[in-house]
Chains A and B, each alone.
Chain A
Amino acid sequence: MAAPDAARRAELEGLLRNDCGACHGGRLHGGLGPALTPAALAGRDPAALAATILAGRPGTPMPPWRGLLSEEDARWLAERLIMGERNDAP
C-alpha cells in the first residue's frame, strides 16, 4: 500500500484541520463529533478508524469519505490521529 507522498500529506493535514475540524474542532478537541486527539484515541486500532473514515457512521453526521479519500489516505489519517502531529516522516 503506497503511503501518501509529502504533497498529499500536506493536503491531508489541511483537510484534517479544516474539513474534519468543522465537526471535530480546529484542534480536533471535539465538536459535533468526538475529540480525535491522541489522548482520546489511545489504544485504538488504526484499521478500524480508517474504516470509519471511509464508510462514515450511518445515523450520525460522520460522512463517508470514500470517493474523496483513498484507502491509503484514510490509513495515514488514522495513524496521524492516533500518534498526533509530526507523524509525517516518510
Chain B
Amino acid sequence: MRLDRRTLCGLALTLLTAAAAAQGLGDLGLIVERNSGAVLVVDTDPPAVLARIEGLGDLSHATAVFSPDMRHAFVFARDGGLSKLDLLERRLVKRIVQAGNSIGGAISEDGRLLAVANYEPGGVNLFTTDTLEAVGEIPAVDGQGRRSKVVGLEDAPGNRFVYSLFEAGEIRLLDAATRPPRVVGRHPAGRQPYDGLVTPDGRYYLAGLFGEDGVDVLDLWNPEKGLRRVLPEYGRGERRLPVYKMPHLEGWAEAGGRLFLPGVGRHELFVVDRRDFSVVARVPLHGQPVFAVAQPDGRRVWVNFAPPHNDTVQVVDAESLETIATLKPGKGVLHMEFTPRGGRVWLSVRDENRVRIYDTQRLEAVGELPAREPSGIFFTARAHRIGL
C-alpha cells in the first residue's frame, strides 16, 4: 500500500480519535471562564487543561450538569444559551438560545431531559439531552396571571424537577416522566424564595427565603403534605441585613447528621440538626458566606465569602465546629469543587486568573492551572449525584 499524504493524515486522525476514545471520563471536569464565554475541559489527575471551548455566551453565574455516562456536559448560560459539549471529543456539539435570561438548570434522573430555569420570560423550558429539542415550556404564572422568575431549579428522584417562583413565593413540582411534562404540585411558600436545594438523599427540597426569615421544606416522599416552615432564626433578621451576594444553597453541606448553612447577610455558619431542623450552633465566620460545602467525607466544611471578604476561605471542622484554617487563596474566590473522594479541592480565584488546588488534609496549595477569570468548577462525578 502506498501511503500518500492524505492517507497518513487520515491515519493520524484515526489514531487521535482512538486515543481520545481511550480516555476515562470520571476525573474530568469543566472550569467556566465567566467573562470570556469559554469553558476549559480539565483533567483532575494529574491536573491539566485538555481543551478550551469558546462561544458559549454570557457565562457569569453559569452552571453545568453531566449526562449519566459523563460524556456530555450541558452548560446553562446567563443569556439563555444552552450548550451541549462532548468531553471525549472536547468540542461543542450544539448550542441554542432558549430564553432571554436564565439562571441555571438541571438534568432528569434518567438523563433524557434538561430543565432550564428562566428569569425572562419567567418559566421552565425543557429539552431533550440528545438533540436539545424543545419538549415543553412551562410558564411561571401565579393566580393573578403575573409572571415570576424561576429560581432554585433542582432535579428530584422519580424524574421530577422542583423549583421556586421568586415573586409569587411558590414552590412547584414538575413531573418530567409524562409527555408533555406537567406541574403536579403548587405550594404557597414564604416571601421571595431565592434559591433551593435537594438534600443529597433526594428526600427534601429546601428553599431559602429572602423576603422573610425561615426555610420552606417540601418532603419529596410526601409532597401532598405540603410545605413545612423550619429554621425561623435563619434569614436576614429584624434588621434586614444587606446581602452583597446571594448565598448559594446548592452544595449546602451535610455532614454527620447535621446541615451547614451559610448565614444570609450574617457572618455565620448555621449548624442544623438534620432530623428536626433545629439550630445546634452558629459558627462565627470571617465575612458573609456564599458557599458552604462539605468535603465528600463530611469531615470538614469549606466556606467562601461575598465581597469584600472574597479573598478568603475558611475550613470548619464538622465535629468540633472549630474553624481550623483561614486560607487566603487570592482575590475573588468564587467556587470550590472537591475531587470525587475529597483529597483535593479546586478553588477558582477570579481576579488572579487561576484555579488553585489545595490538599484537603494538609490544607496547603499543591498546584494551580491558568484560567481567565474562572468562576464555576464542575467535575463529572456530579453526574451521579442527586440535586446537583
Contact check: which of A15, A32, A68 meets B246 at CB < 8 Å? A32
**What's the minimum C-beta distance from B64 to chain A, rounded to whole angstroms?**
16
Interface size on A, residues (CB 8 A): 22
**Cβ A32 vs Cβ B245 within 8 A:** no
CA distance A14 to B244 in the complex (A): 15
Set A14, A30, A59, A63: member contacting B243, Cβ < 8 A: A63
A43 on the B face (CB < 8 A): no
**How far apart sit A23 and B244, CA to CA, in the bound complex (Å)?**
9
Q: In the complex, what's the smallest C-beta–C-beta distance from A65 to chain B, in angstroms? A: 8
* CB of B157, distance to nearest CB on chain A (Å): 28
The chain A residue sitting closest to B241, CB to CB, is A63
Check A61–B194 contact: CB distance below 8 A.
yes
Q: Sort chain B's interface into a size bin.
A: 20 to 34
* B101 interface residue (CB < 8 Å to A): yes
Interface of A is mostly: loop
Task: Decide if the interface of chain B is mainly helix, strand, loop or mixed.
Answer: loop
| Bound CA–CA A14/B151 (angstroms) | 26
Answer yes or no: B34 CB below 8 A from chain A CBs: yes
The reply to whether the CB of B308 lies closer than 8 angstroms to some CB of chain A is yes
Contacts of A29 in B (CB 8 A): 58, 78-79, 101
Tell me whether A26 and B210 are in contact (CB under 8 A).
Answer: no
With A26-B35, A31-B103: A21-B242 Cβ-Cβ less than 8 Å: no
| Among candidates B60, B192, B242, B332, residue contacting A26 with C-beta atoms closer than 8 Å | B60
Q: Name B residues whose Cβ lies closer than 8 Å to a Cβ of A.
A: 34-35, 58-61, 78-79, 101, 103, 119-120, 149, 151, 166, 192, 194, 210-211, 240, 242-246, 307-308, 332, 350-351
Please give me the 7 A-B residue pairs with the lowest Cβ-Cβ distance, nearest first: A26-B60, A63-B242, A21-B60, A26-B58, A27-B58, A19-B307, A22-B245
A-B contacts besides A21-B60, A22-B245, A25-B78, 9 pairs, CB < 8 Å: A18-B350, A19-B307, A25-B58, A30-B101, A32-B149, A32-B194, A63-B242, A63-B243, A68-B244
Residue pairs across A and B with Cβ atoms less than 8 A apart, 14 shown, are A21-B60, A22-B246, A25-B60, A27-B60, A29-B58, A30-B119, A56-B242, A59-B211, A61-B194, A61-B210, A63-B242, A64-B242, A68-B307, A68-B308
